[in-house]
Amino acid sequence: MENVLSSILILLGSIIKFSMGTLTAIAADLGITGSLANVIGGIIGIVLFTYLGGFIQEFLAYKFPKKFGRKFSSSTRFLVKVKQRFGLNGIAAITPIFLSIPVGVMFALALTHDKKKIMIAMFSSMFFWAILLFLPYFLFDISVMDMVRQLFEH
């Protein structure tokens, strides 16, 4: 029962922040159920924010015009540079790890309105990062909790 609850929490967290769900699934040593919950949560988040992102942006800009109006900061300048150099694929590549899924998808929606193209790029990036992060965990049986314990034992 504890694994099911943990997997549900990872799924819900992965809808917003994929990398945190990945690290939590590995740290909690949930195995394949945790990794599947993480990937399914990422898929749900990408689809949800791809289709609802425009409405969410409009609502936030209407409700909080000073907070969500167009303004430049160092982070938005960075995203503009990524967009100019690498386009949609660049934004998709950094979304699962460095950005959250809603921010990455909404920024991608600002680049293009082709939802199919956005989802393909985001899914590809998410699966790439999932394989990159989960493969050592499954192949080499790396336990993050044991590594953390060893750091604090000395």
Q: Please indicate, yes or no, if residue 153 is contained in any of the structural domains.
A: no
- CB atoms inside a 10 Å sphere around CB 89: 14
What is the sign of the dihedral through the CA atoms of 113, 119, 120 and 125?
A: positive
| Residue whose C-alpha is closest to residue 50's, from 111, 5, 133, 93 | 111
Asked whether residue 59 is domain-assigned, the answer is yes
Question: Quick check: is 148 in a domain?
Answer: no
Is 46 in contact with 100 (CB distance < 8 Å)?
no
Q: From first to last of its 154 residues, what are the pLDDT tens digits of the chain?
A: 678 888 899 999 999 999 888 888 888 888 889 999 999 999 999 999 999 988 888 888 788 877 766 666 666 677 778 778 888 899 999 999 888 999 899 888 888 889 999 999 999 999 999 988 888 888 887 766 566 677 777 6
Residue 123 lies in a domain: yes
Number of domains in the chain: 1
Entry pTM: 0.81
Residue 146 lies in a domain: no
130 within domain boundaries: yes
Residue 147 domain-assigned? no
The reported pLDDT for the residue numbered 145 is 59
Rounded Cα distance between 69 and 53, Å, is 16
pLDDT for res 154: 61
| Domain residue limits at 133 | 2-140
